[in-house]
Amino acid sequence: MNTLAERIDRVRSKIAAAAARGRGQAVQLLAVTKTVPPEVIAQAMSCGLTLFGENRAQEALPKIKRFPQAEWHFIGQLQTNKVKNVVGRFALIHSLDRWKLATALQARAEITGQPVRVLVQVNVGREPQKGGVLPEDVPAFLREVAQLSHLRVEGLMAIPPAVSDPEDSRPYFRALYELFRSIDMPGVKMKTLSMGMSADYEVAVEEGANLVRVGSLLFGERS
């Protein structure tokens, strides 16, 4: 069994190789720590990881309190009634997927006085069971969100349809990269393209991802 340090090094090496094969960009590794205990997070930090992602605020908050020096991202679907638990605690929210959530984030940010950094989630596979803005609706949605004084749009995120072969995700990643590159409007920054997880992160990096969300390859399969 490889150690955590060896698994981290292996993923980092594969990210670097994929970037070299692809667009040559710098890529951030976001370690997904859902169900991962604090002592393992401490080990990951000792190996140099600084970015961590959580799907559920309730599980994340004790970890954030214990490791305030880390940068925590919220990567799960966010319900409007959970906004109060997320704003001010996470550095970046990856899953802004609808106008109602945007206005809820804005309202909470006005109360706290803290701007909220967000990525817009795009439903690249047009899957009805998934959240996300349809690709053709993204520019109009961004123009609306840009009018909200306390939201800071910094990029896009997507989870393509589940496939057995990572190569089958390539067209979705490529389309999202092209959308990412095409957006140029006031009040919106296209800094972060968050796509790719344990099963397909190498293909995502080849197609332009500059942040990948990796959990099971680092910490093992979740029960």
pTM of the model: 0.95
Per-residue pLDDT of the chain (223 residues; tens, 9 = 90+): 589 999 999 999 999 999 999 999 999 999 999 999 999 999 999 999 999 999 999 999 999 999 999 999 999 999 999 999 999 999 999 999 999 999 999 999 999 999 999 999 999 999 999 999 999 999 999 999 999 999 999 999 999 999 999 999 999 999 999 999 999 999 999 999 999 999 999 999 999 999 999 999 999 887 6
Q: Which long-range CB contacts under 8 A does 121-126 form with residues at least 24 apart?
A: 121/94, 121/95, 121/96, 121/97, 121/156, 121/157, 121/158, 121/159, 122/156, 122/157, 122/158, 122/176, 122/179, 123/97, 123/158, 124/158, 124/160, 124/172, 124/175, 124/176, 125/160, 125/161, 125/172
| Amino acid found at 36 | V
Q: Is the torsion defined by CA of 194, 117, 49, 82 positive or negative?
A: negative
Contact 155, 193 (CB under 8 A): yes
| Amino acid found at 121 | Q
| Amino acid found at 97 | D
Q: What does the alpha-carbon distance between residue 166 and residue 209 come to, in Å, rounded to a whole number?
A: 14
CATH 3.30.1490.190 fits 4-219, yes or no: no
What tokens does 186 get?
A: 């006031």
Q: Count the helices and strands in the chain (H runs, E runs).
A: 9, 8
Q: What does the alpha-carbon distance between residue 181 and residue 175 come to, in Å, rounded to a whole number?
A: 10
